[in-house]
Chains A and B, each alone.
Chain A
Amino acid sequence: MIRVAIGPQDFDPGAELAALGGMAGAGAVASFIGHVRGDGGLTALTLEHYPGMTEAACRRIAEEAAGRWPLLGLTVIHRFGRLEPGARIVLAAAVSTHRGAALEAVQFLMDWLKTEAPFWKREEFLDGGARWVEPRQSDADAARRWQT
């Protein structure tokens, strides 16, 4: 079962993981949660998304993960809007009978979310400055490991 939720509101990691762990046959629940880091004087991070396309793209990658690994369930939650340091941004979690599939699926999802997901990030700083984040080569390199 695939759950994809894109929205501004915060989510409850405990509840999401418990839901996956409660599925019949569950043996392994793996997850990643991303938070806004406040280093470098960052005061806010704004995530912009493409209504319609962002949800569809996230759903497609979740379906691809479900096709590549034997999963019982998969959850992708991604926030958008203006977030402050410490705020949760993203949850990627998977449940399977054994840990290999669950762990790999989460890594796959995160590598995709970091490189292909339709979000644009803008950082605000203590000194009043702001800048748009530029794509990073190391993220692109990490995502390439999944190419078949």
Chain B
Amino acid sequence: MIRVLYFGWVRELIGADGEEVAADAPVTLDALRAALMARSHGHAEALGVPARLRYAVNQAIKGPEAEAKAGDEVAIFPPVTGGCGR
């Protein structure tokens, strides 16, 4: 299983901190995102615009073409906002 974690408005729209995904073979983060969209309307809304999302695999930032495999921790989140944004 891949452990997927959500943060920010991604977490809020999906309505969960995280969930598990079966993974018999390595999968790209973008493919994982697309597959997760099917789980609920909230998932589709949160994960539907790739340009708005960022990823980490085992707590290291990765691009959408990077791969994850069983046993990995994947996080999907909006761009970070340590700044004040206004």
Chain B interface extent, by class: 10 to 19
Whole-angstrom CA separation of A116 from B84 in the bound complex? 13
Q: Does A56 contact B (CB under 8 A)?
A: yes
Which of A11-19, A65-73, A117-125 makes up part of the contact surface?
A: A117-125
Within 8 Å by CB of A118, from B9, B12, B80, B83, lies B80
Q: B59 in the interface, Cβ–Cβ < 8 Å? A: yes
Binds A, one of B19-27, B28-36, B37-45, B71-79: B71-79
A66 to chain B, nearest CB (A): 20
- Please determine whether A50 and B75 come into contact, CB atoms closer than 8 angstroms: yes
A146 → B minimal CB distance (Å): 15
Most chain-A CB neighbours within 10 Å: which of B11, B78, B84? B84
Option from B59, B79, B85 in Cβ contact (under 8 Å) with A50 = B59
- Closest-CB distance, A88 to chain B (whole angstroms): 15
- Complex formed: what's the CA distance from A7 to B83 in Å? 18
Residues of B near A136 (CB, < 8 A) are: 83-86
CB–CB B5/A50 < 8 A: yes
Closest Cβ of chain B: how far from A91's Cβ, in Å? 14
Give the most central of A40, A117, A120, A134: most B CB within 10 Å.
A120
Q: Closest Cβ of chain A: how far from B45's Cβ, in Å?
A: 14
A121 touches B5 (CB 8 A): no
| Chain A contacts with B in 98-142, Cβ cutoff 8 A | 113-122, 132-136, 139
In the complex, what distance in Å separates the CA atom of A66 from the CA atom of B86?
31
Cβ distance B8 to chain A, nearest Cβ, rounded Å:
4
- Closest CB in chain A relative to B59 CB, distance in Å: 4
Provide the bound-state CA to CA distance between A30 and B81, in Å.
24
Contact across chains for A134 and B81 when beta carbons are under 8 A apart: yes
| CB neighbours of B7 from chain A (8 A) | 48, 50, 118, 120
Which A residues contact B (CB, under 8 angstroms)? Answer: 37, 40, 48, 50, 52-53, 56, 113-122, 132-136, 139
13 contacts between A and B (CB under 8 A): A50-B5, A50-B7, A50-B56, A53-B59, A118-B77, A120-B9, A121-B81, A121-B82, A132-B78, A133-B81, A133-B83, A135-B83, A139-B82
State the 8 A-B residue pairs at the shortest beta-carbon distance, nearest first.
A120-B8, A133-B85, A139-B83, A53-B59, A114-B83, A117-B82, A133-B81, A132-B9
